[in-house]
Structure formats: structure tokens, C-alpha cells
Amino acid sequence: MPYDTITDLDQLIRRLQSYNPDAESDFVRRAYEFSAKAHAGQMRQSGEPYLQHPLAVAGLLTALRSDVTAVVAGLLHDTLEDTLATPGELEQLFGKDVARLVDGVTKIGKIQFRNYEEKQAENFRKMVLSMADDIRVVLIKLADRVHNMRTLEHLHETKRQQIAQETLEIYAPLANRLGIGWIKNELEDLCLKYLKPDVYAMLKLRVAKRDEDRQAYIQEVANQVQAALAENGLPCEVQGRPKHLFGIYQKMERQSISFEEVYDLTAIRVITDTKMNCYAVLGLIHSLWRPVPGRFKDYIAIPKSNLYQSLHTTVVGPKGEHVEFQIRTEEMHRIADYGIAAHWKYKERGQVDDKDGKVFSWLRQFVEWHQDLADNRQFMDTVKLDLFHDVVYVFTPKGLVKEMPKGSTPVDFAYAIHTEVGDHCVGAKVNGKIVPLKHQLSSGDAVEILTAPTQVPHKDWLKFVRTSRAKTKIKHWLKIEEQKRSVEIGRRLLEREFRRHDLPPAQLFKSDRLLLVARDLGCESADELAAAVGYGRLPTAQVISRLIPRPGGDRAPTVEETAKSGVPKPVEKGVKVSGGRDLLMQLSRCCNPVPGDRIVGYITRGRGLTIHSVGCPNLEALDYDKERLVDVEWDTSAPSIHGVKVSVLAVDKTGVLANVSASISESEANISRAEITTREDQKAQLDFVIEVNDTAHLDRVLKAIERVDGVIRARRVRAWQAR
């Protein structure tokens, strides 16, 4: 049996050399001895020396016809997890590849499978594949699982159930996905044995009994086929099919039918030499017995996604019973059994037609690449598992797996959990460590989002979020917020106008009179009217002219005119709007004005009043209407603190940074940020953000810096200025 459990080293080496005569037995021997030493004294639950396990795993890898590297890694696969061996040691003794494979297997072993919903299980399988950067890692893991399942009887009942369940949910489907039929079938049957022992025992017994009864009949059908094919010169081999108990159980469960109904089918497999002959065999069988309509499937023209190929047909056999045929070439048979592992060797025979591109999935690519490559070693080195290159799989704190596009950040993750979590996220922990919000997540990461009720979405987040869900949610929030602000600004602009015309604002806003005007102007409500004004879509003059019809037409008074009539009122510490009511305001970031700078206010559409320096090119470049400019001045009654960017050019020598910092502190200014860049010309550029009260204070600081030995010049930097 090629898949049986190997129990000694010589047997292992013989198996390896049977398909790979060049394999160095010495390399394998060294790995075996290292593993023996590392695991010395350890026992399996069965009471066997632990070494039997890695030996068996390596043996199963030879059943998959793995290369020496994978077999050696199989011998060493538990040394990082269970012994004192280190990755460095493995690399030194057995090379980079072996060390990397063992490390990969160890990493996958650490994933906790805690939730078995269908979607979750699928994500786990994908996670395993995406975490392994080499298909051999997954194959070693599968071999490991096969041997553990074969020896499961030695474990405690609860552990047994848990491992069998995990195998059924994750590893058997993984084997199926990789097209390795025998591993899938063996794992499934072993799962059935431990999860449904009664069903397993019943099926085993009935299948054996049935087979005994039917042997003669199957043989008769097989003989007839064999004879007909030989007569027509078609080379072939006719076999009965191995029994897959889990498959029978599944059919009984899914279709709610009896054992007899499932197993009544006589199943026969015909293996021939070429694809053309598969169809010839099919034709012959159909000429012998009448095909059952709707039961013919051409998996040769349209392979399954795991590259399985065969023709399936059911005919009404000699005794009027249904007989199921599978027809395939030897190569297809090998692929059905070995899947991805089939492509390591025999490349000269791997002629698989690739015309029907639409159904060919990733596995197909392995074959195609494989055919271009010079040797198997190179093939395996090149086959990186980038099957899921555009997604990552991460854990929630509850152990659920989320699939995210590659490049996703904690903010994307937060919005994937819930809008509320996204809107209020302030930070994140990845694998227990705090990371910035724009940190990119990797497969296997455990992500925990930190929230604060005061946090709100930031426009800046749009620059790094990856998912459209996060983008939409952030934009939605910003839009609502902008609407709220527009209503507020519009209301204030209107109130100011109303007062100027001796109209009582508070009453007016509640009155039907304003509502009528609003409707007249195409707005549903007074708030909508205010928003239109706030956005700048509607001049206040139009509202006023409808409230107080004037013969002189409806020329709008400018904001400046309006401003002059009002009473000044400070609104933000440090700035007063001449004649203005309190408006939302912020100092513009582009010119970052400081008390002492000449300033001007600009009523933005939806973001309140921004204060710019007079002469700020951004303001001049703005497509603004003069009506939205407002006179503002610094309120010197209450001192305030402002961050200013300062750039210092100095000779690159030790102590300069310290001396400059000291001079800033001595000028009673704080440094809120500092960055030093060494230039090629032996000069250093020091960039600071310094907190000052006003321009006079800033001048003092700059002068103090320039007095420091080695400083060439110090100047204030505005965002618009080239440095």
C-alpha cells in the first residue's frame, strides 16, 4: 500500500528513492537523527516513542511523492513546537527551505479553530492557504493530520471529538480543494468513525456483506466491458471502485435515502490511455447498454475546479440494474488521487488541454507554470501560494474570521464589524500591540478595535481605508455633518440679515411666513432654506426680498455691509469677527495664521468660517465670491497658543539639535514636534512645530535660534511655501 504508515528509516529512504533516485539518503538520515535527539524521551499517547510520528508524516509525504526538502521538513515538523530546537539551528543544519517549511507548519498549527459555521470554516481553509507561502507547508500539515487521525483512538474522548470535527471542517475540504482525493477520503472516513461510530460500523458491515454478494455480478459486467474494448483495440483497465463510507453516508443524509438505494449502484472505473479513447470507451459502453438520460457528465471538457477530470455515465446494465461508469486516462486518475501533488513529477505526461479557460481555476495555473519550468525543484520553489493574494483573513476578539481585501486597515475592520465601531474608533491592537489606524493587516492577525464615544470619522481616513464599506460610511458621516453645519451657518447668516431689517429672527424661524418663502424658493422647510444659504446656493438677499418686497429691486447687501452694522463678539479664543455673529470658525491650515499676522475670514460652503492670512495664495486661488469674505481681527485680550512650523538650516555637527532646542525653550516656547534630516552637503535641516503666542513671540524665538552656534538660518514655514 503506498499510503500505509512507515515505521523505519530504511523503509522511508527506499520509498523516496523509488521515485527520486537522486535523493540523498544522508540528508534524510541526518534529519531523522536530529528529530530523534530533539524528541528523545517524548512519548505519544499510544505509548510509542514520539519519533514514530514525524517518521510516519515523512512517509506519507513520500506517498505524495514529495521532494527531499519536504520529506526532511516532515521529519522535523514538530521540533520547533515541541522541543528546544530553533529556526536558526534548523536553517544552519538543513538549509533555508527546510527551516521555512517547518516554521510555516508550526505557524499554521497555532491557528485556533473555534467556530465551525460553514462560512467560518471556509475562511479558515483559505487562511491556512494564504498563510502558507509554499504549497509544501500545506501538504506537510495534511500528512500530519492524516497520521494524527490514524492514531486518534489513543486520545481522550473530548479531544478525539474536537480533532475529528476540526478535520472534517477544515482539513478534509482542504485536501479536496487541493485535489488530493485519497487524503480527503481517508480523513472523512476516519472522521465518520469517531464522530458517528454506530453509523460507521453499520456501513462497514453492510458494504462488506453487499460486496460479497455482488462480486460475481460486478465481475460479469467488468468482463463484458473488457472484452468489448479489447475487440475494438482500446487499451484499458477495468476496476471496481474503492469504498468511501463517508460518501455513502453523505448521500443517505442529503437525499434521505436508504443504504440500499445508494449502494445499489454498481460502480465501475475504466482507465485508458488517451483523452480521445475516453470518448471511444464511452461510445462503446453506450452501445452495449442504454444510457440513463441526464446522468452523463463530461468532466474532461469541463474539469472540476480542483482539476478533477473524468467522464461519468450511468447505463441500464445486463440485469436491468443501473451501473455507474467513470472513464478516465491514467494521468487523470493520478490527478484525481494526488491533486496538486500530482504535478510535482511526470511533467512530460501532464498534457491537460487548456482551451476552456472559463472553468479553469487556480489549480490549472499550477499545471501551466509547471510545464514551462525546467525541473521539479524549480517548480516547487516557484509555486508560491498566492491563491488569495488579494485578501487577508483576520480574527475578531471572539475568534471569528473576517475576510478583508489586502491593504485593509483597522478602520476597515472596525466598519466591517459595525458602523458605530467604525465611527468611534480611536486605535487598534493587532496581536496585542497598539498600531496606528492606517496599519495594514496581515492574515492571521487578531484585531481588537479601541473606541471612544467622543471620536468621530475623519476626512483623513479616506486616504488609507481600503474597503468601499468604510469609504461609504465615512463619506456619509461627513456629508451629514456638513449638512448640519450648513444649516447652522445659514441660520446665522439669515439671523444677521433679519436683525438688520428689524425682523425678529426667533419668531420668524418658527413662522409660516418663512416657511412660505422657503417653499417659494423650492425648499421644503426653514432648515432646508438655511442649508441652501449656508452652502452658498442661495443669497440671503433673495430671502429678504421675499419677506420685505422693495421697489428698488433685490440687490443683496454684501457681507461686509452687513458686518459693519452688527456688534463685534468674540467667538474663538484669539479671534473676533468684526460685526459678526458667532460662526463656526477655524484657522486655515494652509497659511496657519498667528496673532500678529493680517487675517481675513472666509465663509466656506458648509464648513463655517476659516481664517486665512491676508495674501494666502489658497484664498486667492479660491473661487470665492466677495460676499463671503468677512473682516476679522485678533482678539489680544486673551493670549492664545498657536503651533507654527519652523525650519532651521544648520551645520551638521553634534550638539546643534540640543542647543537649538534649548534656545527655543529659553524663549518660552514649547516644541510640539521635531524632525532632523541630514543633507548631502553636510548640513542638517531641523524641522520643528513650535507653540507661540503671536508673531512677536515667534520673531523672538527665530532670533534666538539664529544666535546658536552652527545655525545658518531659521525661518517660519507656511504650507504653501516651498522649502
Q: Supply the residues annotated as catalytic.
A: 81-82
Cβ of residue 28: shortest distance to Mn ion, in angstroms? Answer: 18
Q: How far apart are CA 327 and CA 457, in angstroms?
A: 61
Residue (103 or 122) nearer to Mn ion, CB: 103
Pick the closer one to Mn ion by CB: 78 or 597.
78
CB of 150 to Mn ion, least distance (A): 12
Cell of 506: 426667533
The verdict on 144 binding Mn ion (CB under 5 A) reads yes
Would you say 151 or 161 has its CB closer to Mn ion? 151
Give the long-range contacts of residues 468-473, CB within 8 A, separation 24 or more. 469/412, 469/415, 469/416, 470/411, 470/412, 470/414, 470/415, 470/416, 470/422, 473/415, 473/419, 473/422, 473/423
Give DSSP secondary structure letters for 245-267.
HHHHHHHHHHHT--HHHHHTSEE
Query: For residue 391, which of 440, 436, 345 has the smallest C-alpha distance?
Result: 440
Q: Which is nearer to Mn ion, 140 or 704 (CB)?
A: 140
Cβ distance to Mn ion smaller for residue 85 or 690: 85
As measured in angstroms, the least distance from the Cβ of 78 to Mn ion is 4
Least CB distance from residue 148 to Mn ion, whole Å? 7
Least distance (Å) from Mn ion to the CB of residue 105? 8
Stretch that binds Mn ion, among 78-86, 194-202, 416-424, 493-501 (CB under 5 A): 78-86
CA angle 307–313–314, rounded 5-degree value? 145
Q: Render 598-643 in DSSP notation, one character per residue.
A: -EEEEE-SSS-EEEEETT-HHHHHS---GGGEE-EEE-TTS---EE
Judged by beta carbon, residue 129 or residue 146, the one nearer Mn ion is 146
Among 76-84, 316-324, 454-462, 477-485, the segment contacting Mn ion (CB under 5 A): 76-84
- State the nearest-atom distance from the C-beta of 141 to Mn ion, in Å: 9
Determine the interface stretch with Mn ion among 26-34, 71-79, 117-125, 352-360 (rule: CB under 5 A).
Answer: 71-79
Count, residues near Mn ion per rule CB under 5 A: 2
- Cell 533516485 identifies what position? 21
Contacts of range 702-708, beta carbons closer than 8 Å, 24 or more positions apart: 702/646, 704/663, 704/664, 704/666, 704/667, 705/646, 705/648, 705/660, 705/663, 705/664, 707/663, 708/650, 708/656, 708/659, 708/660, 708/663
Which residues 6+ apart lie within 8 Å of 715 measured at CB? 646, 647, 702
* Shortest distance (Å) from residue 65 CB to Mn ion: 20
In the bound state, the residue with its beta carbon closest to Mn ion is 144
Looking at the Cβ atoms of 149 and 559, the one nearer to Mn ion is: 149
Please, are residues 326 and 275 in contact by the beta-carbon 8 Å criterion? no
Q: What whole-number distance in Å separates Cα of residue 452 and Cα of residue 428?
A: 12
> Which is nearest to 528 in space by CA: 548, 543, 547, 549?
543
Closer residue to Mn ion, CB minimum distance, 80 or 441: 80
Q: Residue 596 corresponds to which cell in the numbers above?
A: 500678529
**Alpha helices, DSSP H, located in 77-171:** 79-82, 87-94, 96-109, 118-131, 135-150, 157-166
Min CB(445)–Mn ion separation in Å: 25
Site string for Mn ion, 476-495 (x = CB under 5 A): --------------------
| Kind of pairing between the strands at 266-272 and 236-240 | antiparallel
Q: Are 396 and 417 in contact (CB under 8 A)?
A: yes
Compute the least distance from the CB of residue 126 to Mn ion, in Å. Answer: 22
- Residue (59 or 539) nearer to Mn ion, CB: 59
Part of the chain binding Mn ion (CB under 5 A), chosen from 140-148, 218-226, 527-535, 710-718: 140-148
C-alpha to C-alpha distance for 173 and 655, rounded to whole angstroms: 64
Tell whether residue 166 is a contact of Mn ion (CB under 5 A). no
78 binds Mn ion (CB under 5 A): yes
527 contacts Mn ion (rule: CB under 5 A): no
The piece of 138-146, 162-170, 342-350, 469-477 that touches Mn ion (CB under 5 A) is 138-146
Question: What secondary structure does DSSP assign to 670-709, as a single string?
Answer: EEEEEEEEE-TTSEEEEEEEEEESSHHHHHHHHHHHHTST
Which residue bears the cell 458667532?
A: 582
Min dist CB 160 to Mn ion, Å, is 16
Q: Binding segment for Mn ion among 141-149, 455-463, 530-538, 637-645 (CB under 5 A)?
A: 141-149
Contact string 25-64 vs Mn ion (x = CB under 5 A): ----------------------------------------
Relative to beta strand 585-587, strand 609-613 is: parallel
Please identify, using beta-carbon distances, which residue of 108 and 650 lies nearer to Mn ion. Answer: 108
Stretch that binds Mn ion, among 142-150, 199-207, 274-282, 608-616 (CB under 5 A): 142-150
Residue 307's SS3 state is coil
The nearer residue to Mn ion, 142 or 684, going by C-beta atoms, is 142
Span near Mn ion by CB under 5 A; candidates 74-82, 236-244, 325-333, 576-584:
74-82
Shortest Cβ distance from residue 69 to Mn ion (Å)? 18
**DSSP symbols for 313-342:** EEEE-TTS-EEEEEEEEHHHHHHHHHGGGG
The continuous run of DSSP H or E covering 238 comes out as: strand 236-240
Binding site for Mn ion (CB under 5 A): 78, 144
